[in-house]
Structures are given as structure tokens and as C-alpha cells.
């Protein structure tokens, strides 16, 4: 239990009292939290919410990544992953390639396939439907988290379908949930610099609302540590909170720290441990209506993934075999994690691990590789 009277910083004490009284914090509170150096008191407020929601449990998943192509028409300056057709390292996974990879994942014991890729006009809806059906045929119990809001918007336009029609087709083919990518930062000024051809923040939120109306649970991300201001971060989180008040369809908020290697963007600075802690703890407090806050160990490293569990984070993400996107941008972590490794990151921080799919369906543990 937090004790607002014992918090030395008056403003953080007021925020703690709001949390106890279940009054949503405002934008000014959020900006204050993102700038405070008093991270221990901030963390105690964030963890009060985390413990109320999830007790001592931290979630992880055993999953694989499927990045079906790196060919992309948008070539966002923030992206180290994309290529033009014909580039030396351009690739496209055929259905045979996908079958081989998913079979290897199933042999390992994965619960989930996470699918995202570039936007390429050559790929028709039939390719995506066949991919989804093939995966479900290999193992009907595999949970498929597929395509960002940016991809859904593109597929719908290219196929001449409305978004509701597209969602119906892809749910029928096997989509179970939607990842949170493509949100980047909603603030138009910065978004236009880092991803000028990508759909606007408004459109990203609109696609998610329609997905929620179709019963799909989704994540929401925020790319930080590039050219955004603290005010942009605050605005991003509040816009997610507003949509969540309407739909209740976001299950997880996932801040992603930007890696600049091989991109056309110079990071404004390398985020410090304090920056990461402030952001995750503030997100836990601001997004009181989003159940989970996830810290991707692959983006942050093992040590920060452990630490953030005491600052509001209740999910450290998955094994993600063959992660391509952040490693193309210079992430120094491994591009795959074993289940015992993730369990150790949780246990050694004093928490109890629980293996789940992206919809937080509990799965039995025990993969030892």
C-alpha cells in the first residue's frame, strides 16, 4: 500500500493520492512524472497499480517471429529493416519457407506466431490468407498475432475492401490478435520526419478501433528516444487512454526504445536507465485502463527488463526466434531467447513467472532449450 503522506515530493504525493482514490492522472501529472528524478517514489506508485492488477506475477511467452518480407514501399527513415525490390538483401518468404519455419517452431514448442512485414504491392490478399490457414493447419492451437494497423490499412486499400470486410476475411483465415506496431509517435510534426509516408496517428487509432469492434484484442506501442519531446510522449499515451475508454480493446502498452543504427535518423540521445524507468512507470500510472505494460527484453537488455518489473511492468515479452526488425537497427541482444532464460529474468527479480499467449491465455511451462 502506498502512503501519500510519506512521499517526500509533494506533487508525487498528490499523484499517489489520486491513484488510491482511482482518479485518472492528468497530462500535467504525466509530464511531471516523466521528468522527476525521484524514481523510487514514482516506482512505488506504479507498482501499487501493477500489484493490484497482477500481484507478484510477470508474464512471458514462447513465440516466434515471422517477418514475411523486408521489401517495403514506404522506406520510413526510422526503419533499418526495409529494402527496395531487387536490393541485394531483399527477401520474400514463400509459403514453403513459412511452413518450414513454423514446423521448426512447433517442434520447439511455441504457442504463438507473431507476423509483420513490409508493404509490397506484389503480395495479394490471397498470400496472407494462405499463410494464416497454413499456420493453423500445422497446429490449430497456435495463436496468431498478425499485421500492424499500417498493414491492415494498406491491404484494405490494395484489395478494394473496407476495413470491416478485411478484418472478417483475415479473422476467418486465422488472425487471433493484432500487434501494436506502427503507432510510432502520434505527434504529426515528428511523425512526418521519422515516417512521412506512414498512415497518420489518427488513422492508426481508427484502424485499432475497428479491430476492437471486431472483437480483436490489440497492443499499442510508442517509439521513444528519437526526436520526440516529453509532451509528445504524454500526448501519445493520453490518446491511447481515450480510445481505451471507448473500446476497452487494448490489452498491452509496449514502449519501444528507438535503435538508430542503419536508419536515417540520429537519436536525440541514448536513453538512460532513468529515462526508461520514468517512462514505463509513468505509462503504468497514466494508462490505468490498459491491463498490461510490457518491456521487451530484446530492446532493453536483460538488466533493464529485470529492473522494470519493480516499476510497473508485468510482461517481459517472448522468445521471438529470429527477430529481424530491431536487430537490423543495431540491438545488441540475442535475436532469440530460451524459456529458461526468460524465467530466470523474472525469478531473479523476485517475481513469479507465468507463460501466456498474447491474449494472456495461460499455457503450460516447460520448454528446456
Residues at the contact surface with ligand SF4, assessed by CB under 6 A = 72, 74-76, 79, 81-82, 118-119, 150, 195, 198
Q: Is the dihedral of CA 355, 359, 362, 364 positive or negative?
A: negative
Q: How far is the CB of 69 from ligand SF4 (least distance, A)?
A: 9
Q: How far is the CB of 200 from ligand SF4 (least distance, A)?
A: 13
Strand ordering across the sheet containing 112-115? 63-66, 112-115, 143-146, 177-178, 217-224, 250-257, 292-293
CA dihedral 319, 322, 326, 331 (to 10 degrees): 80
Q: How far is the CB of 151 from ligand SF4 (least distance, A)?
A: 8
For 263, the 3-state DSSP assignment is coil
Q: How far is the CB of 43 from ligand SF4 (least distance, A)?
A: 32
Q: How many Cβ atoms sit within 10 Å of the Cβ of residue 93?
A: 18
| Choice between 119 and 345, CB closer to ligand SF4 | 119
Nearest C-alpha neighbor of 362 from the set 51, 143, 144:
143
For 294, the 3-state DSSP assignment is strand
| Choice between 75 and 193, CB closer to ligand SF4 | 75
| Choice between 119 and 132, CB closer to ligand SF4 | 119
**What backbone torsions phi and psi does residue 167 show, to the nearest 5 degrees?**
-60, -40
Helix (H) or strand (E) holding 35: helix 27-35
CA distance 219 to 206: 14
| Choice between 72 and 281, CB closer to ligand SF4 | 72
Q: How far is the CB of 262 from ligand SF4 (least distance, A)?
A: 11
Q: How far is the CB of 38 from ligand SF4 (least distance, A)?
A: 36
Please name the residues in contact with 205: beta carbons below 8 A apart, sequence gap of 6 or more.
186, 239, 240, 243
**What backbone torsions phi and psi does residue 255 show, to the nearest 5 degrees?**
-70, 140
Nearest C-alpha neighbor of 123 from the set 167, 55, 71, 169:
71
Nearest C-alpha neighbor of 46 from the set 63, 30, 60, 70:
30
Q: How far is the CB of 196 from ligand SF4 (least distance, A)?
A: 10
| Choice between 4 and 118, CB closer to ligand SF4 | 118
Amino acid at each position: 500500500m502506498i502512503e501519500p503522506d510519506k512521499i517526500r515530493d509533494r506533487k508525487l504525493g498528490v499523484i499517489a493520492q489520486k491513484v488510491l482514490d482511482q482518479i485518472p492522472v492528468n497530462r500535467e501529472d504525466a509530464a511531471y512524472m516523466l521528468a522527476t528524478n525521484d524514481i523510487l517514489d514514482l516506482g512505488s506508485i506504479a507498482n501499487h497499480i501493477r500489484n493490484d492488477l497482477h500481484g507478484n506475477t510477470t508474464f512471458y511467452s514462447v513465440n516466434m517471429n515471422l517477418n514475411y518480407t523486408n521489401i517495403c514501399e514506404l522506406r520510413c527513415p526510422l526503419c533499418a529493416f526495409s529494402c527496395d525490390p531487387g536490393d541485394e538483401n531483399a527477401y520474400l518468404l514463400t509459403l514453403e519457407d513459412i511452413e518450414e519455419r513454423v514446423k521448426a517452431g512447433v517442434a520447439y514448442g511455441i504457442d504463438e506466431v507473431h507476423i509483420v512485414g513490409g508493404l509490397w504491392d506484389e503480395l495479394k490478399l490471397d498470400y496472407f490468407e494462405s499463410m494464416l490457414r497454413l499456420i493453423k493447419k500445422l497446429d490449430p492451437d497456435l495463436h496468431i498475432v498478425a499485421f500492424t494497423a499500417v498493414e491492415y490499412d494498406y491491404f484494405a486499400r490494395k484489395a478494394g475492401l473496407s476495413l470491416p470486410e478485411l478484418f472478417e476475411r483475415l479473422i476467418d483465415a486465422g488472425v487471433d490478435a493484432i500487434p501494436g506496431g506502427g503507432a510510432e509517435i502520434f505527434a504529426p510534426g515528428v511523425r512526418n520526419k521519422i515516417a512521412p509516408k506512414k498512415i497518420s496517428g489518427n488513422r492508426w487509432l481508427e484502424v485499432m478501433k475497428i479491430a476492437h469492434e471486431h472483437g480483436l484484442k490489440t497492443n499499442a506501442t510508442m517509439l521513444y528516444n528519437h526526436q520526440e519531446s516529453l509532451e509528445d510522449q504524454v500526448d501519445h499515451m493520453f490518446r491511447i487512454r481515450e480510445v481505451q475508454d471507448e473500446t476497452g480493446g487494448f490489452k498491452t502498452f509496449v514502449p519501444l526504445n528507438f535503435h538508430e543504427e542503419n536508419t536515417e535518423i540520429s537519436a536525440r540521445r541514448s536513453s538512460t536507465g532513468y529515462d526508461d524507468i520514468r517512462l514505463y512507470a509513468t505509462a503504468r500510472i497514466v494508462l490505468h485502463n490498459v491491463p498490461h505494460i510490457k518491456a521487451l527484453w530484446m530492446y532493453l537488455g536483460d538488466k533493464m527488463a529485470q529492473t522494470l518489473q519493480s516499476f510497473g511492468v508485468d510482461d517481459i515479452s517472448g522468445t521471438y526466434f529470429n527477430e529481424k526488425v530491431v536487430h537490423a537497427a543495431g540491438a545488441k541482444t540475442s535475436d532469440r531467447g530460451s524459456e529458461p532464460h526468460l524465467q530466470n529474468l523474472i525469478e531473479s527479480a523476485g517475481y513469479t513467472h507465468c507463460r501466456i499467449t498474447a491474449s494472456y491465455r495461460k499455457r503450460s511451462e516447460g520448454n528446456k532449450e
